[in-house]
Structure 1
Amino acid sequence: MSLIKILPENIVSKIAAGEVVQRPESVVKELMENAIDSGAKNIDVFIKNAGKLLIQVCDDGTGMTEEDAILSVQKHATSKIFNFDDLNSLNTLGFRGEALSSIAAVSQLEIKTQTKDEELGTLVKVSNNGEISSEKGSFVKGTSITVKNLFYNVPARRKFLKTNQTEFRHISNTFKKIALGNSGISFKFYNGNDIILDFKSGDLSKRIQQVFADNMTDALIPIEEKTDIISISGYTGKPAMLKSCKGDQYIFINNRYVVNRQINHAVFTAYESILQKGDYPFFVLFLDIEPDKIDVNIHPSKMEVKFEDERSIYNLLLAVIRKSLGIQNLVYNEAEAETVVDYKAAALSGTNFNNSFNPEKERNRQYNFNNTKYSDVELDKLFGNIQNDSLGDTNPQFIDDPFSQPVQKEFLHKVNDVDEDEKEKGSSSFIFQLHEKYILSQIKNGLIVIDQNAAHKRILFERAFHQLKTGLPLSQQLLFPRKLALERGKYDLLKEILNLLINLGFSISFLRGNNIEIRGVPEDVKYGKEEEILFEILNKYSEIKNKDENKNEENLAKIYAESAAMKENTKLNEKEMRSLINHLFSSSNPYICPNGRPTLIKISLTEFSRRFGNTN
């Protein structure tokens, strides 16, 4: 007897369906794309139990005849292509003819459809054993596809679905991405009987405000360029919209949402003089290119594309973004002037780029001292660990010290201490701000250089962590409470972590329709930054909240410190610099920030003497 057997058709269908239908979000994506391809102007999405119980997508598109409706649920049945060469002229989101048959293989599927010319429409049902039946009836013009009990016949697959909250978040994110790429269509999203999102048709700027926030317009930079190669349009964000987490980078190629490393790299490179390490720009970019110049048939999700001429696309996009930033007086220097002016020529210049670009792996930079190269790590070794050298033996004057942790006396340095000679002159000890990024301060046997951003993060982290652990927040009440509208996912997350935020110092009231009112904030939050910091906390926390529940307080303290800390290019006066240093050295670990970066380096007098060749 042969050990190799041909699998039954029903098993083959279920296995094949796994390529297309990975979770409820996959179903929503495929059905919404079909609705868009039908020419719909209004698309409604309904879900129950995070899509596990019900997914329904209704549209007012062209509808299908009975013959087409029956064919649509069969394998590899499509109206988009008829031969292989048609892949080179695709103008639709779907084309493989796999979606409906794959969905039908792992759910209970029903289609109601009617064309505008028919008096009666068609109801198509797919039974549990795959049999297709149809009947006539009077339905709304367009198509309504209902998917019930997803993975009911694949228990192992259903068991591996995540919580309702997680699956709902995936569906919501995909809904917003598709809506963002099709601003000319009205979309509604219902969870049970509640309408969660309602996007009216309009231009792209209006859709961006609907998806993100009403006050986005002033923070957007328009992008518009047409060449013989490609048309580029959309928006990028001004520096005020820079975030320290990924998630707000959207690329659409021929209105298809895609993920593309080269395009991301081009935008990041255009922003390089603005970004701090770990910053991510906001952008929504549309690239329209002839279908035969790209290949979208390389991944089941169709979210990856390849360009025929990646180098030209990269160079053109880089130049266009730089030009737009230059118009806003955000990016400009002499070395880039020719690129900004002659951006079309730049697309043909053949500039090389690194295909393995990863913005998170920018580390171990090189520095030159006396024609000798040193890395970050080598500099730390060169300048030594400040813990190995006493900074003085005088206790600092702490300012509003919120910590009860004892501090080792020998590691403290009082920056407003002065030696006897300086006392006689009535002057204070040396302190200086360098390029609005670093603070230089004299110690008894050399110099310390403090990264003001990293130092502030350490201070804020310990203060926040202390408050979260003790439940004793330091809060400031707002004279004029701020009302905000949140996305449904952010609204639910805020409810989930409200107690943590209260311990951190926030005072928040929940209003109707995903609206909230901020009444109080932690005392470190500057006026006008309340909304920005709360959004940043919600964005970052949503990415890490399921990783280690035992570290919720620590993770939130890190996120808050990252969000609320002063940025580079913050000018400080002498009093502020001294206060920052005193608070830093009152912390339990003043030498590294919460993310592991050093807060300071020390340069000894011996090192100065060696550098200057002074042997005396």
Structure 2
Amino acid sequence: MNNKIKILPENVANKIAAGEVVNRPESVVKELLENSIDAGANKIDVIIKNAGKSLIQVVDDGIGMSEEDAVLCVQRHATSKISTIEDLEAISTFGFRGEALASIAAVSQFELKTKREEDELGTIIKIEGDGNLLVEKGSFPRGTSVSVKNLFFNVPARRNFLKSNATELKHIIDAFKRSALSHPEISFKFYNEDDLIFDFPACSIHERMKAIFAENIIDALLEVKELTDYISLTGFVTKPAYLQKSKGEQYFFLNKRYVTNKIINHAVYSAYENILEKGDYPFFVLFMTIDPHKVDVNVHPSKLEVKFDDEREIYAFVHAVIKKTLGSYDLVPNVSLEGNTTDVTMKFQNFKSIEKEDFSDRPFSKQFESKRTPIFSEDDIERLFGNLNKDIKAAASPSEVPHPFESKQIEITHQFDGTTNSEADSPFIVMLHNKYILSQIKSGLMIIDAHVAHERILYEQALQSFDANIPFSQQLLFPQSIQLDPADYQLAKDLEPYLTNLGFVIKFKAKNVIDVIGIPSDIKAQHEIDILLDILHEFRKNQQEKRLDIKDNLAKSYSCKAAIKAGDKLNEREMRILVDKLFATSMPYVCPHGRPIIIKIPIEEFDKRFGRT
């Protein structure tokens, strides 16, 4: 009786295994680069022909191998990186499976040259498609060179699945750049069809970022740096002005290994919570260092996935660090005027370098101190814009960073009557077309969109009121009754706990009628019904289009509809209070929908226009 189950021949087993590790030329480049880095290379050259289909060659000046190790390294499960099951629990090298070279050699014409410093002659290993292994000796410098020719020549089905040369080359270049980004201390060169395309000398991470992305990239980014004994996070995140519609520009390196992790991505996105619109993504390059025992990279053959011991703790750490970083910089974009005197266009000059914790370029500010002294009293602010009570303030989560917009008001005594006027020495502030607030600052002119500034203030107050869960409203002298359509009536009923926290006091009656008894202090009493209806309609629109969570959606809907409108006139005192409240928020640069609140026009732009330069 013939047995149906057989042990596969080694060369067939290797071809099957290759499918897990090597699925396109990029996989080969990644594996070979990681081997070179593990070998302690200072210089790595990558040579590509025909998008990797004809040739992939990676040459390094690492420690090299003896003849015995060279012969072993192309066998399956042969590795110098681990030796016991315990080693799997604390992997500190890029390679550890011992599968990559065997898998690559199984689907290509493979050649390896290697030499150690102490050896007179190096070793050459050649493997053809039939699996025969040839060993030769030769004279060449210390290090290792791996040539992979005619990839997938013996598995035509796999070769047919490869994309166009342009697509495959792009994937290869992405893998090359990721390695170069995570190891700026190593010199990298990239040749395509004998042309030197990239030449990255060893340098700092800042210089490597410039070489890979753009010369002025650092000016568009904020530097992240949080070092602890247990876990550290460094790198760069984008300023809000550079949010983009592409997911492709996020780089996360765990102990210098490039990985993809939804938890990390979500933690970063949520730190931008009230800046991001649906479809926007922040660019970031982040490096996390953590004890290898606390993480498992042995999840998938590609080693792109990773599992953390305590995902919640990692999420909270990343979210807090990114939020702290965003709150530590002045993120107001500069605007320049371009063109001749008859045809002027405005252009954002976002590539403006700023120092951490430098908030001196603010209206009304003479100096910044650690303890906040508001420009106006709490009574003033309460009367004009309404304020949350002390219980809510106490319940709101404290800021992790000293508040950046601290100012000390200089009081001036009038020489004639002895009275003091805290506003006498303040720079000018005016309202333009009842839409924009113009104010003098150190570098020139600041322009604030009053509606979206108030929107930002109300949005953060709303979120705080949800967290505090302490209702605070002003009672109406005469309750207002309104009949809603059944859908709005049901929506209002569903949102009642949240509306109550905002300050609405609503009584639900029969036949879809509601009585509005109390309203938030920020809403003018004549418009309470219109604003409540607008909030419900905006909430439903956001629900359909953006799928926000209930609190965020309602906070955005409320702030959008309750904020002052374009055309609403503010007096000077109200404008100053609005600006003061804006700079007390966690993100005064963009409204909850991602629109800019503030721009600056430098004094140099005015000088240029008036011929003073």
Q: What's the counterpart of residue 177 of structure 2?
A: 176
Matching residue within 400, 404, 429 for 1:340: 400
- Mark the CA change 1:379 to 1:367 in structure 2 (over 3 Å): closer, same or farther: farther
SS of the residue corresponding to residue 251 of structure 1 reads strand
- Mark the CA change 1:15 to 1:367 in structure 2 (over 3 Å): closer, same or farther: same
Counterparts of 1:275-354 in structure 2, within 5 Å, are 275-329=276-330, 338-341=398-401
Deviation at 1:5, TM superposition (A): 3.6
Whole-angstrom CA distance in 1 between matches of 2:79 and 2:156 = 29
Counterparts of 1:451-466 in structure 2, within 5 Å, are none
Whole-angstrom CA distance in 1 between matches of 2:135 and 2:159 = 28
- Confirm or deny that 1:261 pairs with 2:262: yes
Whole-angstrom CA distance in 2 between matches of 1:194 and 1:120 = 30
Q: What's the counterpart of residue 154 of structure 1?
A: 155
Q: What's the counterpart of residue 115 of structure 1?
A: 116
- Mark the CA change 1:379 to 1:202 in structure 2 (over 3 Å): closer, same or farther: closer
How big is each residue's C-alpha offset from its partner over 1:487-544, in whole Å with a ceiling of 9 and x where there is no partner? xxxxxxxxxxxxxxxxxxxxxxxxxxxxxxxxxxxxxxxxxxxxxxxxxxxxxxxxxx
Counterparts of 1:382-401 in structure 2, within 5 Å, are none
Whole-angstrom CA distance in 2 between matches of 1:68 and 1:182 = 26
Q: What's the counterpart of residue 206 of structure 1?
A: 207
Q: In the alignment, residue 101 of structure 1 is paired with which amino acid?
A: A
- Mark the CA change 1:379 to 1:244 in structure 2 (over 3 Å): closer, same or farther: closer
- Mark the CA change 1:328 to 1:75 in structure 2 (over 3 Å): closer, same or farther: same
**TM-align CA RMSD:** 3.2
Q: What's the counterpart of residue 26 of structure 1?
A: 27
- Mark the CA change 1:271 to 1:336 in structure 2 (over 3 Å): closer, same or farther: farther
Whole-angstrom CA distance in 1 between matches of 2:271 and 2:130 = 55
Structure 2: any 5+ residue segments left out of the alignment? 333-356, 358-391, 403-490, 507-531, 545-559, 569-592, 600-613
Whole-angstrom CA distance in 1 between matches of 2:211 and 2:536 = 49
Whole-angstrom CA distance in 1 between matches of 2:228 and 2:157 = 51
Counterparts of 1:229-268 in structure 2, within 5 Å, are 229-268=230-269
How big is each residue's C-alpha offset from its partner over 1:220-249, in whole Å with a ceiling of 9 and x where there is no partner? 211111223201111111122211211111
Deviation at 1:268, TM superposition (A): 0.9
Whole-angstrom CA distance in 2 between matches of 1:437 and 1:132 = 78
- Mark the CA change 1:379 to 1:272 in structure 2 (over 3 Å): closer, same or farther: closer
Q: In the alignment, residue 172 of structure 2 is paired with which amino acid?
A: I
- Mark the CA change 1:435 to 1:173 in structure 2 (over 3 Å): closer, same or farther: farther
How big is each residue's C-alpha offset from its partner over 1:258-317, in whole Å with a ceiling of 9 and x where there is no partner? 111111111111111222222111111111011100000001111111111111111111
Whole-angstrom CA distance in 2 between matches of 1:213 and 1:436 = 39
Q: In the alignment, residue 338 of structure 1 is paired with which amino acid?
A: P
Deviation at 1:75, TM superposition (A): 0.7
Q: What's the counterpart of residue 36 of structure 1?
A: 37
Q: 8 Å contact 2:328–2:401 — kept in the other structure?
A: no
- Confirm or deny that 1:100 pairs with 2:79: no
Q: What's the counterpart of residue 73 of structure 1?
A: 74
Q: In the alignment, residue 211 of structure 2 is paired with which amino acid?
A: Q
Whole-angstrom CA distance in 1 between matches of 2:495 and 2:256 = 44
- Mark the CA change 1:440 to 1:298 in structure 2 (over 3 Å): closer, same or farther: farther
- Mark the CA change 1:238 to 1:163 in structure 2 (over 3 Å): closer, same or farther: same
Whole-angstrom CA distance in 2 between matches of 1:261 and 1:83 = 30
Q: 8 Å contact 2:108–2:128 — kept in the other structure?
A: no
Whole-angstrom CA distance in 2 between matches of 1:151 and 1:280 = 37
Q: What's the counterpart of residue 396 of structure 1?
A: none
Q: 8 Å contact 2:113–2:123 — kept in the other structure?
A: yes
Q: In the alignment, residue 113 of structure 1 is paired with which amino acid?
A: T
How big is each residue's C-alpha offset from its partner over 1:341-373, in whole Å with a ceiling of 9 and x where there is no partner? 49xxxxxxxxxxxxxxxxxxxxx9998877688
Q: Percent identity?
A: 54
Whole-angstrom CA distance in 2 between matches of 1:253 and 1:375 = 44
- Mark the CA change 1:435 to 1:54 in structure 2 (over 3 Å): closer, same or farther: farther
- Confirm or deny that 1:568 pairs with 2:568: no
Whole-angstrom CA distance in 2 between matches of 1:57 and 1:300 = 21
SS of the residue corresponding to residue 43 of structure 1 reads strand
- Mark the CA change 1:440 to 1:299 in structure 2 (over 3 Å): closer, same or farther: farther
Whole-angstrom CA distance in 2 between matches of 1:340 and 1:311 = 19
Q: What's the counterpart of residue 164 of structure 1?
A: 165
SS of the residue corresponding to residue 327 of structure 2 reads helix
Q: 8 Å contact 1:186–1:199 — kept in the other structure?
A: yes
TM-score scaled to structure 2, two decimals?
0.57
Whole-angstrom CA distance in 1 between matches of 2:252 and 2:215 = 21
- Mark the CA change 1:380 to 1:92 in structure 2 (over 3 Å): closer, same or farther: closer
Whole-angstrom CA distance in 2 between matches of 1:210 and 1:241 = 19
SS of the residue corresponding to residue 170 of structure 1 reads helix
SS of the residue corresponding to residue 398 of structure 2 reads helix
Structure 1: any 5+ residue segments left out of the alignment? 343-363, 383-432, 442-565, 573-616
Give the count of matched residue pairs: 377
Deviation at 1:8, TM superposition (A): 2.7
- Mark the CA change 1:338 to 1:35 in structure 2 (over 3 Å): closer, same or farther: same
Whole-angstrom CA distance in 2 between matches of 1:98 and 1:257 = 19
- Mark the CA change 1:209 to 1:380 in structure 2 (over 3 Å): closer, same or farther: closer
- Mark the CA change 1:97 to 1:381 in structure 2 (over 3 Å): closer, same or farther: closer
Q: 8 Å contact 1:28–1:57 — kept in the other structure?
A: yes
Q: 8 Å contact 2:200–2:211 — kept in the other structure?
A: yes
Whole-angstrom CA distance in 2 between matches of 1:281 and 1:256 = 21
SS of the residue corresponding to residue 340 of structure 1 reads coil
Deviation at 1:330, TM superposition (A): 5.2
SS of the residue corresponding to residue 327 of structure 1 reads coil
Q: 8 Å contact 1:435–1:569 — kept in the other structure?
A: no
Whole-angstrom CA distance in 2 between matches of 1:435 and 1:60 = 65
Q: 8 Å contact 2:115–2:121 — kept in the other structure?
A: yes
Whole-angstrom CA distance in 1 between matches of 2:21 and 2:177 = 20
SS of the residue corresponding to residue 230 of structure 2 reads coil
Q: What's the counterpart of residue 130 of structure 1?
A: 131
Q: 8 Å contact 2:276–2:594 — kept in the other structure?
A: no
Whole-angstrom CA distance in 1 between matches of 2:8 and 2:304 = 30
SS of the residue corresponding to residue 81 of structure 1 reads coil
Q: In the alignment, residue 222 of structure 2 is paired with which amino acid?
A: I
SS of the residue corresponding to residue 196 of structure 1 reads strand
Q: 8 Å contact 2:274–2:594 — kept in the other structure?
A: no
Deviation at 1:136, TM superposition (A): 1.0
Q: What's the counterpart of residue 12 of structure 1?
A: 13
How big is each residue's C-alpha offset from its partner over 1:79-127, in whole Å with a ceiling of 9 and x where there is no partner? 0001110112221110010000000000010001111111111111113
SS of the residue corresponding to residue 338 of structure 1 reads coil
Q: In the alignment, residue 170 of structure 1 is paired with which amino acid?
A: H
How big is each residue's C-alpha offset from its partner over 1:452-475, in whole Å with a ceiling of 9 and x where there is no partner? xxxxxxxxxxxxxxxxxxxxxxxx
- Mark the CA change 1:284 to 1:378 in structure 2 (over 3 Å): closer, same or farther: closer
Q: Report the more deviating stretch, 317-326 or 249-258.
A: 317-326
Q: In the alignment, residue 104 of structure 1 is paired with which amino acid?
A: A
Whole-angstrom CA distance in 2 between matches of 1:39 and 1:380 = 53
Whole-angstrom CA distance in 2 between matches of 1:328 and 1:168 = 38
Q: In the alignment, residue 35 of structure 1 is paired with which amino acid?
A: S
Q: 8 Å contact 2:124–2:135 — kept in the other structure?
A: yes
- Mark the CA change 1:27 to 1:263 in structure 2 (over 3 Å): closer, same or farther: same
Q: In the alignment, residue 26 of structure 1 is paired with which amino acid?
A: S
- Mark the CA change 1:29 to 1:105 in structure 2 (over 3 Å): closer, same or farther: same
Whole-angstrom CA distance in 2 between matches of 1:439 and 1:96 = 63
